[in-house]
Amino acid sequence: MTLAEPIYGTNRNITGDNWFTSIELINALKEKILHTLAQYVRTREIPPQFLPHRSCPVLSLHRDKTLVSFVPKKDISIALVSSMHHAPATNPETKKPEIIDFYNSTKGGVDALDQKCAAYSVNRRSQRWPTTIFCAVLNISGVNSHVLYTASNHKQMSRYKFLEELGYALVIPHVLERRLVKS
């Protein structure tokens, strides 16, 4: 909600992935006059008849939200929830629900961020969700800081080199400080 504050009341669309999607968030953004279209994986909140299955796409129209379950290929299922689509329209060319096509055309930023985070990730296997969230925040912060550095300095630096120098800038002063305190 804090990240979306600058665009409250603008009637814009926010496209997200399954990490940051919940019905509560969609309702809260709707109150701030923002629309949401996102992947949805919380199957305990989805009635069983609306879970993705191969026979046909399932559309659920519920007041101000639409849930689409779609299985394009074997072993691939997609569930999307949208607060901006209110009619079960299908694209005649692709035979997919319109919501799927719209999501595919707007998800580029989400996928690009996921790809960049995966390239140099600090994630570790953990059973504790705070650790997982912390690692995700570090990954996203690394990508964002590289973008800001590149934009403000007008020079290109590989993200690997940038993260390496950032690590030295953050770690080395503390290591030197500890050595001075001990001696």
Task: Give tens-digit pLDDT for 47-102.
Answer: 666 665 655 555 555 667 877 777 777 766 677 888 888 777 788 887 777 888 88
Q: Does one domain contain both 99 and 118?
A: no
Q: Which of 96, 61, 95, 101 is nearest to 81 (CA)?
A: 61
Q: What residues pair up with 38 in beta bridges, in sequence order?
A: 16, 81
Band (45; pLDDT cuts 50, 70, 90): low
Q: Does one domain contain both 115 and 101?
A: no
Domain count within the chain:
2
Q: Does one domain contain both 81 and 137?
A: no
pLDDT at 143 over 90: yes
Q: Does one domain contain both 115 and 176?
A: yes
Cα 170 from Cα 128, distance rounded (Å): 26
DSSP β-ladder status, 65-73 and 76-82: antiparallel
Q: Does one domain contain both 76 and 126?
A: no
Q: Does one domain contain both 85 and 19?
A: yes
Range of the domain at 61: 5-106
Q: Does one domain contain both 21 and 38?
A: yes
Beta carbons within 10 angstroms of residue 9's beta carbon: 8
Torsion of CA 48, 49, 54, 58, to 10 degrees: -130
0.85 surpassed by pTM: no
Q: Does one domain contain both 130 and 152?
A: yes
